Amino acid sequence: MTEAPDPQGIDKVFCHLPWTHLCAHVDGVYSRCCVDTSAQQNWPQYRGSRPERMVLREDAVGCTANSTFAADNPDMVMSLDEAFNSPRLRATRLAMLAGEPTPACRDCYTRERLAGDSLRLQMLRQGTPVPSVQECRERTAEDGSVDGFPSYLDLRLGNHCNLRCVMCDVPTSSSLVRHHPDTWLKRSLDPYSEDPGFWRALEENLPAITSMYFAGGEPLLLRAHRPLLRLFVESGRAAEVDLTYATNLTALPADILELWRAFKRVSLEASCDGVGPVFEQVRIGGRWADFERNADRVRDVVRLSIHAAPQRDNVFDLENVVDWALGRGLPVHLSNTVREPEELSIRNLPSAAKREAQAYLVPLAARLEADGYPMVARDVRGVTSYLMSPPTLTTVN
């Protein structure tokens, strides 16, 4: 597909991830990325009683053989390499090259409209080279397929987790599942450990993989995680691969630091939604002392950054998070504002609380700008913009 592109609005919808990336979720469902709504909007089916049929959305990419959706959607069962050229992913590539919005990508469109940033934009401005629109067009066949295997995998290898954070939802944390009053799911999800097709696809495509992102659940505690790392170490490929984790950093397996030393680069995006008691209020089951101790243990071994998810319960503690991180020379990010549950979204604070939060955030952004932290200041301004956008709940006053 080599025609010179000039579609209206391609810069507003193009994302390189459909050409370079695949996400595998905790329940064995594949998606275009971690915020693909075709995967996330399956989750209400875990509420209440188990439905007679677990239905994958029409625009879903597919699922693994051990997914909770596999038995009821046999035509959607596929391996990693098959998912990369599934009918839905091929259609997404063609839509983007035509400058057409993709319904599964609306999370990014919404965040860009309300806060000025999104995963799509973050991926386009990341430090490593990314393929251009023209390069993606030249790789794409008329049916939307591409040769090869994704170089970048987002692997959420199960939902086992030691915490039950207030903004988390079924099925992404096994601890939350055990305490949740309204779910039929009463066990941990582990769809990849014993899936031969998953391991075959990895083993056959090791040379293509240059970057892996792990989340969960708590990725450091997942059954398939360390065997996967050892696969790369034993193959001799580890030194060519970057690892990134979204981790709560409250638990560190004994051998993990030694395993990490074999890889090209390891980055930890440590979730920190408050300091001291606020951290423990938001991340139920976590201890602030454990987080601080583990941050000190890993900071000289990996690239450590701090990531807060602004929400109702921590919006007035964001300055403490920022100061704690910057005081230790650690990058800090605040762009992942909580949208659901809607009652936790800062958009849905009462009007008086919104004004109070705005009065708190505006001078914080100004101080950070003056102190030489323009990127953090931009994040704070984005939080403020999201805060002052119209509520999504009609009961807010």
Exposed / middle / buried, residue 216 (Cβ in 10 Å: 0-12, 13-18, 19+): buried
Q: What is the pLDDT of residue 5?
A: 43
Round to whole Å and give the CA distance between 337 and 315: 10
Q: Please write down the long-range contacts of 292-300, taking CB distance under 8 Å and 24 or more positions apart.
A: 294/249, 294/250, 294/251, 294/252, 295/249, 295/270, 295/328, 295/330, 297/252, 297/257, 298/249, 298/252, 298/257, 298/268, 299/328, 299/330
pLDDT score, position 305:
98
220-264 pLDDT, tens digit per residue, is 999 999 999 999 999 999 999 999 999 999 999 989 999 999 999
* pLDDT above 50: residue 190: yes
Q: Which residue has the tokens 């999504």?
A: 392
Mean pLDDT of 131-160: 96
pLDDT band, very low/low/confident/very high, at 7 (cuts 50, 70, 90): very low
| pLDDT band, residue 396 (cuts 50/70/90) | low
Per-residue pLDDT, averaged over 334-362, amounts to: 96
- Return the exposure string of 330-344: e unless at least 16 CB atoms fall within 10 Å of the residue's CB, then b: bebbbbbbbbeeeeb
> Taking residues 92-111, what's their average pLDDT?
93
pLDDT-based confidence at residue 397 (cuts at 50, 70, 90): low
Cβ neighbours of 250 (radius 10 Å):
24
| pLDDT tier for residue 173 given thresholds of 50, 70 and 90 | very high
Other CB atoms within 10 Å distance of the CB of residue 253:
11
Question: How does pLDDT run across 199-222, given as a tens digit for each residue?
Answer: 999 999 999 999 999 999 999 999
Q: At residue 129, does pLDDT exceed 90?
A: no
What's the whole-number average pLDDT of the chain?
Answer: 94
At residue 302, does pLDDT exceed 90? Answer: yes
pTM to 2 decimal places: 0.92
Percent of the chain with pLDDT over 70: 96
Question: Quick one: pLDDT band at residue 40, thresholds 50, 70, 90?
Answer: confident
| C-alpha 223 chain-centroid distance | 19
Residue 96 tokens, joined: 């983007």
pLDDT at 2 over 50: no
Q: Is the pLDDT assigned to residue 370 strictly greater than 80?
A: yes
CB 72 within 8 A of CB 85: no
Residue 340 or 371, more confident: 371
Quote the pLDDT of residue 310: 98
- Whether the predicted pLDDT of 167 surpasses 80: yes
Q: Which residues pair with 332 in a beta bridge?
A: 306
Q: Could you check whether the bond before residue 341 is cis, i.e. omega within 30 degrees of 0? A: yes
Q: What is the pLDDT of residues 45-87, one digit of tens each?
A: 999 999 999 999 999 999 999 999 999 999 999 999 999 999 9
Of 172, 164, 171, 155, which is closest to residue 83 (Cα–Cα)?
155
Tokens linked to 198: 């998953």
Q: Which of 76, 92, 19, 17 is nearest to 42 (CA)?
A: 76
